[in-house]
Structure 1
């Protein structure tokens, strides 16, 4: 079993890539945004960044979910911002099969994407706070993929990482 965590700032394509990856692998897809409390969603939709006390219960809920998937031998793709190293440490399961994929892009490219999408609670005004909070994982910790690549190419690269050489 494998858990693939797709991380990056809001607007980097985590959900789009995650859904397509899960479909390509025939795995379950979960968006960590769905695990936020209604209060967190309300805050972000009003352009108010979350603080650590808002995030900790959300991170712990994901950690519990990851543990459950591993116990159930489930293969899952999880889209989760995981912006800080300390957040990733909460989500990490030592000696267990978790692969981290970092969707990396410039603030200008991602801001344009955010302004063009509709029906998402995250305000584009919060993008600055996302980039300020971002602690990029090292290449040893995560595979880095450029968000400007075609979605199909990003998915193909992740599939090859997960499945290994043909």
Structure 2
């Protein structure tokens, strides 16, 4: 039986817990995992490090790289979990063009909680000063995206509850194979 590769894009503003949730989902499901930050060109990282918000022109090539990676994984029969801010619907539309089923897991929460989390993390190039621009850019999941299986989850929930909710919504057992001979 052949399964269609599924891509879970764990999305939200910086500090929402994307890396934590994506890593836990990857472990639970046994799916490949990638951080969208790894796809950024140096010029984007330099801008963000300096506290300069990215513009759409900075994001399109980055998003295309991510979409290409998902398509390559799908061609190999591999389902994935990926962190990506995916703040605008147009960004999500581009990512949805990858081969396989693409679902968005929006980690949503209040600015105060996210700001607290950002203040406490170390070694990340995204400074807390960029949070207001990310919140202003964020376009919530549409009714159509939610109807297609994407989820909006509150970051105030413990990570294990968020992961359990995603796995339950997927209807797949942990460590489910993406393809079978």
TM-score by length of 1: 0.94
SS at match of 2:43: helix
1:144 aligns with 2:148: no
- Segments of 4+ in structure 1 off by > 4 A? none
1:22 aligns with 2:30: no
Aligned to 1:74: 78
Distance across 2 between alignment mates of 1:64 and 1:95: 9
Could you say if the C-alpha distance between residues 35 and 95 of structure 1 is closer, same or farther in structure 2, counting changes exceeding 3 Å? Answer: closer
- Matched pairs, number: 166
Q: CA RMSD in A?
A: 1.7
Could you list the runs of 5+ residues in structure 1 that have no partner in the other structure?
Answer: none
Aligned to 1:161: 169
Could you list the runs of 5+ residues in structure 2 that have no partner in the other structure?
Answer: 175-181
Aligned to 1:123: 127
- Tell me the alpha carbon deviations over residues 112-144 of structure 1, each in whole angstroms, 9 at most, x when there is no partner: 100011110001000000001000012541211
Distance across 1 between alignment mates of 2:169 and 2:93: 22
Could you say if the C-alpha distance between residues 121 and 94 of structure 1 is closer, same or farther in structure 2, counting changes exceeding 3 Å? Answer: closer
CA contact (8 A) 2:8 2:104 kept: yes
TM-score by length of 2: 0.87
Could you say if the C-alpha distance between residues 155 and 64 of structure 1 is closer, same or farther in structure 2, counting changes exceeding 3 Å? Answer: same
